[in-house]
Amino acid sequence: MVAGLLGAFAAAVCYGVASVLQAVGARRTQTAGGLDPRLAIRLLHSWPYLVGVGLDGLGFLLSIAALRSLPLFVVQSIVASFLAITAVLGAIFLHMPLGRSDRIGVLVVLAGLVMIGLSAAEDRAVSVSEAERWGVLVVAVVLAVLAVSLGRIQGARGAAALGALAGLAYGVVAVAARILPGSVRLDTLVSDLGTLWTDPSIYALILAGAIGLLTYAAALQRGSVTQATAPLVVGETVAPALVGLIMLGDRPRPGWGWVATVGFVLAVAGALSLSRHGELSQQEPERTLRSAGEGADA
C-alpha cells in the first residue's frame, strides 16, 4: 500500500510538470478547426509538448501501478493534486508568486491528501463480469463519438466541453486499469500478455487514453488552461471514484469513511481552486522556453 501511495504521488508530480509543457506546446501549434487528428501530428514537432507527453506516460504507468493496490478514489484524488504541484513549481522556477488564496488552496489539497492517505486501505482484487468489461469499452467508444461532435464547439464553451470529456476519458482509463486481469507486474508481464490482449478493458484503456490526449490538447487551444483543466479534474476524479465505490467495492479503512469523504472533497475542491494556475503556462513559461531554445540554437 505504501508503494501504491508513493506511486500515486510521483504520478501527480509528473502530471503537474507535464500540464505546463503541454499547454505551451499546444498554444505554439496551429489551431485545429474541429477535433482534427492531424493536431496530434503537428504536436510532434513541439518539444515542450513531447516532453510533457513523456512525463504523462511515466505518470500514467505510475498511476496504473498504484491502481493495482489502492481504491480508485484514493489514486484519482492524489493525481488531481497535480494542480497544486503546478502552482508550487511555478512559484519556485517561474517566479509566479502564490497569492493568499493560492496558498490556502495548496494547504487544502495537502490536508485532503493527508486524510485520504490515513484512511486508505490496501485493496483486494476486483472481480467483474465479462459484460462489465465490455461495458467499459462501450463507454470509451461513446466518448469517441461525443468527441467528434464536441470538437466543433469553439471558444470557452468548447474548452470546457472538451476538458470535461478528456477528464471522463482519463476516468475510463483509471477504471480499465483497475479491472485489468492478472497481476500486471514487471516480473509477470510476459505471461500476462496473452490474457491482457484478449480482454476488452485493455482496448478501452488504449482508446480512452488517446481520446483524453487529443481532446485535452484541443481544449487548451480553445480557451484558457483554467477552462480546460477544471472540468478535466472533476471528470477524472469524481466519475471513477463513484464507479469504484458503487461497482468495484472500493472502501476506506473500517471506521474511516467520513475521513476519506472529507479528504476527497478537500483535495478536489482545493485542486479546482488552483486550476487557474495553469495560466502560468501562457506567458512566463513561453519566454523561459523560448530563451532556452535560443540558447540551444546558439
Q: Return the pLDDT at 250.
A: 81
Interhelix angle 47-67/155-178, rounded to 10 degrees, is 40
Beta carbons of 132 and 247 less than 8 angstroms apart: yes
Mean pLDDT, residues 46-58 taken together: 83
Beta carbons of 280 and 89 less than 8 angstroms apart: no
CA–chain centroid gap for 298, Å, is: 36
Q: Quickly count: other Cβ atoms within 10 Å of residue 298's Cβ.
A: 5
31: left (phi over 0), alpha (psi -120 to 50) or beta: beta
Residues in the chain: 298
- Tell me the domain boundaries of the chain: 2-297
The proportion of the chain whose per-residue pLDDT surpasses 70, expressed as a percent, equals 74
- The Cα diameter of the chain in Å comes to 61
CA–chain centroid gap for 195, Å, is: 26
* Cβ partners under 8 Å of residue 51, min gap 6: 18, 21
Q: Quickly count: other Cβ atoms within 10 Å of residue 292's Cβ.
A: 12
CA dist list (Å): 6 to 85, 155, 230, 257: 15, 38, 24, 22
pLDDT at 146 over 90: yes
Q: State the pLDDT confidence band at 192, using cuts at 50, 70 and 90.
A: low
Distance CA 147, CA 162 (A): 7
Whose grid coordinates read 506546446?
Answer: 25
pLDDT tens digits along 196-249: 778 898 899 999 999 998 898 888 778 776 678 778 888 888 888 888 888 887
pLDDT tens digits along 94-141: 566 777 888 888 888 889 888 888 887 766 666 778 888 899 999 999
Tell me the pLDDT of the chain averaged across its residues. Answer: 78
Beta carbons of 279 and 100 less than 8 angstroms apart: no
Three-state secondary structure readout of the chain: CHHHHHHHHHHHHHHHHHHHHHHHHHHHCCCCCCCCCHHHHHHCCCHHHHHHHHHHHHHHHHHHHHHCCCCHHHHHHHHHCHHHHHHHHHHHHCCCCCCHHHHHHHHHHHHHHHHHHHHCCCCCCCCCCHHHHHHHHHHHHHHHHHHHHHCCCCHHHHHHHHHHHHHHHHHHHHHHHHCCCCCCCHHHHHHHHHHHCCCHHHHHHHHHHHHHHHHHHHHHHHCCHHHHHHHHHHHHHHHHHHHHHHCCCCCCCCCCHHHHHHHHHHHHHHHHHCHHHHHHHCCHHHHHHHHHHHHHHC
pLDDT at 283 over 50: no
Of 14 and 2, the structure prediction assigns the larger pLDDT to: 14
pLDDT tens digits along 147-168: 988 888 888 888 889 999 999 9
Beta carbons of 228 and 282 less than 8 angstroms apart: no
Q: Is 161 exposed, middle or buried (0-12, 13-18, 19+ CB in 10 A)?
A: buried
